[in-house]
């Protein structure tokens, strides 16, 4: 027995050829086609704007990275410039010391001049004394104990001149060394200043580009937001019409199939026919019954149920959903571990609907691990956000990136023989409880389904 929409289309074509054309039904079909067109148009526009936004965001990230690189280079140059300024200050202090040394040298020169002047006076006095004393009648005149002897003075003068010469040579050498170092520092300072100015210019240019790009991204984001809002409004309007038309269409098809199935059953029960024809009619009847079942599921999905909200413990709800499937998990050699939070607050939920949603999520995990594996059930509560979370993590086959965005769409399934309503129904139930459901998966590694429910604040 086929269980795909291809078969449904073939059967509808057969019914269309066998039955008179209903103009009202054809209008319904045309309206559904129009709604489907707007749905595709919305998806295409959404993908186009998302790609544009991704490109602009990537450009923005690149510009930010370049700006950070230039900013870092400027900081390094600034540090280097400060280091040069510090060395410049040190050299400046050294030069000041050398100036003071020059002043000391000038004082010494002055002292030297004073000593030379005094020596000249002493020499003049010594000549006068010699001329006055002279030599009388061949008798040598020798100075007495109190006479002045200039030998000590000459020795002191020679030593002082030597010290002055050495000091002068040292000062010249240090002055030359300082001059060269100052020239080098000055050159380095100019080089750093040039590099800093160049980096600042590049940084300013990049900053201007980045600001321009940011404005463009903001403008595109605003346009995209407005476009998406308009598309969503139009989609909502068309889907409201689509839902009404689809329900009417499903009712009509259900009635036709019911008539067809009843007629077939009446014929096979009351009229003689050969076995081959009877078998063919039974196959048609079985297909009609399957179609009726699918329509009932669709109508149940489209119908907003009346909810009976009561306080429940999430751990107990999860255990209640797992219990009927426990034997199947054991039969497929799937190890199940629990990481339940303690002292979880009660959640107001419709028990039947919530159990049904969890059962469908667990069945998906079961089907993804036909050769065995592992399943982890976890619950937790975040008091700050008042969110109660449920996570189901399996080590199954996973879902490809191309399919992961479609898993919640009605009648989408990557497995043969499946109708693709399980996750759609689960999402509908979670939405009715003011919650969110999120799916993360890696092909070949497993899937994590996360359900988050926002709890009501405690009453005062």
**Each residue of 149-184: pLDDT tens digit?**
456 556 666 776 676 677 777 777 777 776 777 777
Using CA atoms, how far apart are residues 16 and 22, in angstroms rounded to an integer?
Answer: 9
Q: Quick one: tokens of 27?
A: 């209008």
Residue ranges per domain, the chain?
A: 1-131+153-303, 310-454
- Mean pLDDT across 121-140: 60
Handedness of CA 305, 308, 313, 317 (dihedral sign): negative
**Which one has a higher pLDDT value, 321 or 98?**
321
**Which one has a higher pLDDT value, 163 or 5?**
163
Max Cα separation, the chain? 192
- In this prediction, residue 20 has a pLDDT band, given cuts at 50, 70 and 90, of low
- Residue 381 near residue 342, CB atoms below 8 Å: no
**Which one has a higher pLDDT value, 127 or 289?**
289
Q: Are strands 347-349 and 446-454 parallel, antiparallel or unpaired?
A: unpaired
**Which one has a higher pLDDT value, 184 or 372?**
372
3-class SS of residue 389: strand
Decide if pLDDT at 307 tops 90.
no
pTM for this predicted structure: 0.45
- Residue 242 near residue 56, CB atoms below 8 Å: no
Contacts of 293 (CB under 8 A, 6+ apart): none
Decide if pLDDT at 8 tops 70.
no
Burial of residue 437 (number of CB atoms within 10 Å: 0-12, 13-18, 19+): buried
- Mean pLDDT across 327-331: 92
Q: Are strands 387-394 and 310-312 parallel, antiparallel or unpaired?
A: unpaired
- Residue 170 near residue 108, CB atoms below 8 Å: no
**Which one has a higher pLDDT value, 320 or 303?**
320
Q: What is the mean pLDDT of the chain?
A: 75
Give 21's DSSP letter: -
* Phi, psi of 375, rounded to the nearest 5 degrees: -135, 130
Using CA atoms, how far apart are residues 251 and 240, in angstroms rounded to an integer?
Answer: 17
Q: To the nearest 10°, report the CA torsion of 124, 125, 127, 132.
A: 150
3-class SS of residue 405: coil
Tens-place pLDDT, residues 392-437: 999 988 888 877 777 777 666 666 556 667 788 888 888 888 899 9
Q: Are strands 446-454 and 387-394 parallel, antiparallel or unpaired?
A: antiparallel
Q: Quick one: tokens of 217?
A: 């991204």
Contacts of 386 (CB under 8 A, 6+ apart): 454, 455, 456, 457
Using CA atoms, how far apart are residues 258 and 252, in angstroms rounded to an integer?
Answer: 10
Q: For residue 137, what pLDDT is reported?
A: 40
- Mean pLDDT across 208-214: 75
Using CA atoms, how far apart are residues 143 and 135, in angstroms rounded to an integer?
Answer: 12
Find how far residue 60's CA is from the centre of its chain.
Answer: 13
Among 127-136, 201-210, 247-256, name the one with the lowest average pLDDT: 127-136
Tens-place pLDDT, residues 101-112: 767 777 777 777
Q: In this structure, which CATH number among 3.40.50.150, 3.30.70.3270, 3.30.565.10, 3.40.720.10 belongs to the domain 310-454?
A: 3.30.565.10
Tens-place pLDDT, residues 52-97: 777 777 777 777 777 777 777 777 777 877 777 777 777 777 777 7
Q: For residue 51, what pLDDT is reported?
A: 78
**Which one has a higher pLDDT value, 310 or 120?**
310
- Mean pLDDT across 231-258: 69
| DSSP string across 117-143 | HHHHHHHHHHHHHHHHH--BTTBPP--
Q: Quick one: tokens of 248?
A: 């009417």
Contacts of 244 (CB under 8 A, 6+ apart): none
């Amino acid at each position: 027995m086929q269980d795909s929409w291809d078969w449904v289309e073939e059967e509808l074509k057969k019914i269309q050829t066998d039955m008179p054309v209903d103009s009202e039904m054809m209008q319904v079909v045309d309206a559904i086609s129009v709604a489907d067109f707007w749905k595709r148009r919305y998806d295409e526009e959404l993908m186009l704007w998302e790609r544009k936004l991704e490109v602009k965001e990537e450009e923005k990230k690149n510009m930010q990275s370049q700006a950070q690189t230039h900013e870092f280079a400027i900081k390094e140059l600034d540090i280097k410039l400060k280091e040069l300024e510090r060395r410049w200050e040190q050299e400046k202090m050294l030069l000041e010391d050398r100036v003071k040394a020059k002043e000391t040298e000038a004082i010494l020169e002055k002292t030297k001049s004073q000593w030379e002047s005094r020596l000249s006076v002493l020499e003049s006095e010594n000549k006068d004394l010699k001329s006055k004393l002279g030599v009388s009648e061949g008798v040598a005149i020798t100075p007495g104990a109190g006479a002045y002897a200039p030998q000590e003075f000459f020795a002191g003068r020679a030593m002082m001149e030597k010290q002055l010469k050495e000091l002068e040579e040292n000062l010249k050498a240090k002055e030359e060394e300082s001059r060269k170092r100052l020239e080098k520092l000055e050159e380095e300072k100019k080089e750093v200043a040039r590099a800093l100015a160049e980096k600042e210019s590049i940084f300013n240019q990049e900053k201007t580009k980045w600001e321009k790009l940011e404005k463009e991204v903001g403008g595109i984001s605003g346009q995209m937001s407005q476009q998406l809002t308009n598309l969503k409004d139009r989609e909502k309007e068309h889907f409201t019409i689509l839902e009404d038309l689809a329900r009417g269409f499903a009712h009509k098809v259900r009635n036709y199939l019911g008539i067809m199935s009843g007629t077939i059953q009446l014929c096979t029960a009351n009229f003689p026919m050969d076995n081959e024809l009877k078998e063919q009619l039974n196959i048609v009847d079985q297909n009609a019954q399957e179609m009726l079942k699918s329509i009932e599921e669709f109508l149940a999905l489209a119908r907003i149920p009346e909810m009976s909200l009561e306080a429940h413990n999430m751990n107990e709800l999860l255990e209640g959903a797992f219990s009927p499937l426990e034997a199947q998990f054991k039969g497929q050699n799937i190890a199940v571990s629990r990481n339940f939070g303690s002292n979880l607050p009660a959640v107001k939920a419709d028990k039947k609907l919530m159990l049904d949603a969890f059962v469908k999520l667990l069945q998906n995990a079961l089907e993804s691990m036909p050769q065995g594996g592992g399943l982890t059930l976890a619950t937790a509560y975040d008091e700050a956000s008042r969110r109660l979370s449920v996570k189901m993590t399996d080590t199954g086959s996973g879902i490809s990136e191309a399919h992961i965005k479609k898993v919640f769409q009605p009648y989408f399934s990557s497995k043969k023989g499946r109708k693709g309503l399980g996750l759609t129904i689960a999402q509908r139930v979670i939405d009715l409880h003011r919650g969110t459901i999120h799916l993360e998966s890696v092909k070949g590694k497993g899937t994590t389904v996360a359900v988050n429910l926002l709890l009501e604040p405690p009453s005062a």
